[in-house]
């Protein structure tokens, strides 16, 4: 089983700030997922990445496979970015896409 650690667990920011959320995992993987969960429960996939960097709007995800580390960055943060951000890694030696999830980072952006 892959152990996944996220930091920080809670993050408070002012609108416009640059935000970084970190994710470390214990076993080598082929790809890592970043998910977003808004209040009320629904979870959406933000990124799947296996190397380098991906960008979608103000969100940027990077991964360093050798160091087993990924970061999610939010540029020019906005109150609507307030959500729980979750990273997830595939379980080693498994098929069917089973994942191990980090505990999540609760982000609050104040206007």
Torsion-angle region of 41 (φ positive above 0: left; ψ -120 to 50: alpha; else: beta):
left
Work out the end-to-end distance of the chain between its first and last CA atoms, rounded to an integer number of angstroms: 40
Structure tokens at 16: 């416009």
Cα–Cα distance for residue pair 109/35, rounded to 1 Å: 18
Is 103 a binding residue for other proteins by CB under 8 A? The answer is yes
CB of 32 to other proteins, least distance (A): 9
Residue number with CB closer to other proteins (40 or 111): 40
CB of 18 to other proteins, least distance (A): 25
CB of 30 to other proteins, least distance (A): 5
Do 105 and 36 meet the contact criterion of CB atoms below 8 Å apart? no
What letter would DSSP give residue 24? Answer: E
State which of positions 11-70 bind other proteins (CB under 8 A).
29-31, 33, 40-45, 48, 50
Residue number with CB closer to other proteins (69 or 91): 91
Residues lying near other proteins in the complex (CB under 8 A) are found at 29-31, 33, 40-45, 48, 50, 86, 88, 90-91, 94-99, 101-104
């Amino acid at each position: 089983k892959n152990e996944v650690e996220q930091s920080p667990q809670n993050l408070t920011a002012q609108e416009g700030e640059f935000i970084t959320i970190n994710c470390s995992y214990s076993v080598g993987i082929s790809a890592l997922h970043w998910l977003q969960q808004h209040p009320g429960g629904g979870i959406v996939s933000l990124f799947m990445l296996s190397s380098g960097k991906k960008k979608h709007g103000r969100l940027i995800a990077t991964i360093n496979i050798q160091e087993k580390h990924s970061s999610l960055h939010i540029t020019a943060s906005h109150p609507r970015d307030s959500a729980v951000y979750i990273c997830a890694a595939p379980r080693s030696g498994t098929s069917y896409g089973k994942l191990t999830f980090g505990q999540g980072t609760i982000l609050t952006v104040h206007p």
